[in-house]
Structure 1
Amino acid sequence: MISRAQVVRTAESIAAIQQDDGGVPWPEGHVDAWNHVECLMAMSVAGLREPVRRGYAWLARHQRPDGSWPMKLMDGVAAERGGESNHAAYVAVGLWHHHLVTGDQGFTEEHWPMVKAALDYVAGLQTERGEIVWERDAEGRAASYALLTGCSSIHQGLRCAVRLAEHLGDPQPHWELAAGRLAHVVAAHPEAFADKSRFSMDWYYPVLGGAVRGRQALELLEREWATFVVPGLGIRCVSDQPWVTGAETCELVLALDALGDGERAGALFADIQHLRHEDGSYWTGWQFANRRHFPHERSGYTAAAAVLAADALLGLSPGAGIFRDVDGTAVSDPEVCGCAAVRGAEEGR
């Protein structure tokens, strides 16, 4: 296990790559709202208040009138203009996490309108069955399909947004209903989503995002454990490549922690420390057939996932339970989805 000082050093490696305008980029230089928020959360854990404030100012500055953010921004200019639903939803996770960590009521109130606009954008992309399609394109057209990983993350965003709304005395019951319907589809209707099953994220994200918990979650993780977990190294990004990645491994650590499986969570977190660089940053991944880092980069989002995993395991901040405490009640409508209840969920909770 790493120390508090090492966690701070990792967060400082994220602050070191923050751009002058407040954006936290991918290694190739673009910024997207989801990974940007993840990095702000990690810096919040470490108490890096000023970089975090600049990061939220970046979000406020680049939010569009419909509540979304461009899919990719390069030097503050939209490089891909579509708006992803899971990018917008994650802003609620970030602000709720910031409130838990800092207790800064004024900051939360200041950024609440941004979250409201973002989550209304997300809720507007929910289908009649309950899944939320992955984007609205540059011309304003909603996508024709949904993604399981994205919807799982959106579920967490909706749940955090509901908690923010309750805390601020501005309830948004339509978000709670949207979250319940979405949880049901994620837990019980795999046919609602495009097939991305070779990606490990589609395996564990329903647990990480809180839509699947209890016995159903344990069974879900067990089914593909041998497919994705490489003992001693971490987990594969995709099932058919000899490549483990730090961010995915740390997210699985968070999912296991949320289920109370601290033993396996701690072991996986220890395994992935081979990606830690001496400056506190993390290599994105390791190609274990060729025995080299791939891609040859150290990414802010990987460092952020490592900080959040360490916080969950060590309880370093009041936001350590942000993934653990996100589960909620699923809502099914037999007339819409064709089934009466979330299969197995009630017994497993």
Structure 2
Amino acid sequence: MTVPELPGVLTADAVLATVASIAAAQEPSGAIPWFPGGEVDPWDHVEAAMALDVGGRPEAARAAYDWLRHAQRPDGTWASRYRQGVVADPIGETNHSAYVAVGCWHHWLASGDEAFLARMWPTVRRALDFVVGQQAASGAVWWAVDGAGASDRVALLTGCSSIYQALRCGVAIADRLGDPQPDWELAAGWLAHAVRHHPEAFADKARYSMDWYYPVLGGPVRGDDGRDRLRQRWHEFVVPGMGARCVADRPWVTGAETCELALALDAVGEPDAAAEVVAAMQHLREDDGSYWTGLVLDDHVRWPVERTTWTGAAVVLAVDALHGAHPRSGIFRGTDLPVGVEIGGVCPPELRCGAVGKGVTETRGAAEPQ
């Protein structure tokens, strides 16, 4: 078992303690809530399962993916929120459906378990077919369908950037299993084109740090363009010695956003800066290895008063990427992932520039501090 560490910041034993805190929250069904007894959402559930694999708990990770396999609805979606096995919000989010592909590819990279890929393939295929079916003429993907299956025709930059990574992982799984999915490759190409060239196709959520770094983290924007993007708003979002703000105009640093920023930095060849921001958010760590979600800087109060599995998972995944000693460590860099069909300078003729919708705020379910 290769357990990562970040010298001077987190030892391998410290990482294992964080993974143990995630495992302790897992329910008998395999679902991983935000905290014991809390809500489960499919995206954060997958992130937590990935951390379990990094920490040498493949059985627990497989149980998490089996929960997804059993909970998936016939249209390829999951409910947006569950609480102790009961649907709390029936909306089906495209980003949630897509992320199962990232988790399954990560589990294969961690374990080499071909039987697992074959078992999960119908789940992945239904999920990504649903996502591709929600792609707009612009190349962006609508963010959700309601309980009746009607599309909410708003595209969110953060979610779409994550979907791009998921499509690439899905194509890798399809190729591995000998069942190519050219529609997914084409969808990935159009989606990347929209993210790179058509900001007007997405709802304006620029005050949220995720919309700043996710085009880099998810993969549509890399290289010099990715470094430039992170440099442009660095001082708006990064608080030296504390981490990254969730929202530019709020005095609130959050651990998961900080570690996702670290993953984005690592993906564009800035590992030293990545390690620095991971070190900066360690004030959120508890003695048992769990992590508080965030800190309000004005009064130095932890808020919300929750230690969340997805914050701990983001720490583990960032440390694993920086450690870089295992094939799974490169999943956010896109190592060996197919890129889809490359779209040049030709835009979809149906694209109506300036047609930006009004959507929900992406803040992982928590209301922002006032």
User: Which interval holds the TM-score relative to the shorter structure?
Assistant: over 0.9
Q: Which amino acid aligns with 2:339?
A: G
Is 1:44 aligned to residue 53 of structure 2? yes
> 2:211 — aligned with what?
202
> 1:328 — aligned with what?
339
Is 1:222 aligned to residue 225 of structure 2? no
- Aligned pairs (5 A) from 1:65-80: 65-80=74-89
Whole-angstrom CA distance in 2 between matches of 1:93 and 1:49: 16
Q: Structure 1's 338 and 17: CA in aligned 2 closer, same or farther, altered over 3 A?
A: closer
Is 1:17 aligned to residue 28 of structure 2? no
User: Secondary structure of the equivalent of 2:155?
Assistant: coil
User: Secondary structure of the equivalent of 2:330?
Assistant: coil
Is 1:127 aligned to residue 136 of structure 2? yes
Is 1:139 aligned to residue 139 of structure 2? no
- Name stretches of at least 5 consecutive residues in structure 2 with no aligned partner: 1-8, 353-370
Deviation of 1:334 (Å): 2.8
User: Secondary structure of the equivalent of 1:89?
Assistant: helix
- Name stretches of at least 5 consecutive residues in structure 1 with no aligned partner: 340-349
Contact 2:138-2:348 within 8 A present in 1 as well? no
Whole-angstrom CA distance in 1 between matches of 2:121 and 2:54: 20
> 2:254 — aligned with what?
245
Whole-angstrom CA distance in 1 between matches of 2:338 and 2:141: 18
Contact 1:45-1:316 within 8 A present in 2 as well? no
Whole-angstrom CA distance in 1 between matches of 2:213 and 2:347: 26
- 1:295-339 superposed Cα distances (whole Å, 9 cap, x missing partner): 111100000000000000112532000100158364154342669
Q: Which amino acid aligns with 2:139?
A: G
> 1:104 — aligned with what?
113
Matched length:
339
Whole-angstrom CA distance in 2 between matches of 1:338 and 1:136: 21
> 1:170 — aligned with what?
179
Q: TM-score, normalised by structure 1?
A: 0.94
> 2:39 — aligned with what?
30
Contact 1:26-1:301 within 8 A present in 2 as well? yes
Deviation of 1:226 (Å): 0.5
> Paired residue for 2:317, among 301, 304, 308?
308
Q: Structure 1's 151 and 263: CA in aligned 2 closer, same or farther, altered over 3 A?
A: same
Whole-angstrom CA distance in 1 between matches of 2:250 and 2:62: 39
Q: Percent identity?
A: 53
TM-align CA RMSD: 1.4
Whole-angstrom CA distance in 2 between matches of 1:167 and 1:226: 42
- Aligned pairs (5 A) from 1:239-318: 239-318=248-327
> 1:236 — aligned with what?
245
User: Secondary structure of the equivalent of 1:126?
Assistant: coil
Whole-angstrom CA distance in 1 between matches of 2:99 and 2:181: 17
Large movers: runs of 4+ above 2 Å: 315-318, 326-330, 332-339
Deviation of 1:204 (Å): 0.1
- 1:95-132 superposed Cα distances (whole Å, 9 cap, x missing partner): 00000010011111111111001000100000111000
Deviates more, 1:288-297 or 1:252-261: 288-297
User: Secondary structure of the equivalent of 2:27?
Assistant: coil
Contact 1:213-1:327 within 8 A present in 2 as well? no
Whole-angstrom CA distance in 2 between matches of 1:256 and 1:242: 23
> 2:70 — aligned with what?
61
Q: Which amino acid aligns with 1:59?
A: L
Q: Structure 1's 299 and 335: CA in aligned 2 closer, same or farther, altered over 3 A?
A: closer
User: Secondary structure of the equivalent of 2:87?
Assistant: strand
Contact 2:137-2:348 within 8 A present in 1 as well? no
> 1:346 — aligned with what?
none
- 1:176-206 superposed Cα distances (whole Å, 9 cap, x missing partner): 0000100010111111111111110000000
Contact 1:233-1:244 within 8 A present in 2 as well? yes
Q: Which amino acid aligns with 2:34?
A: W
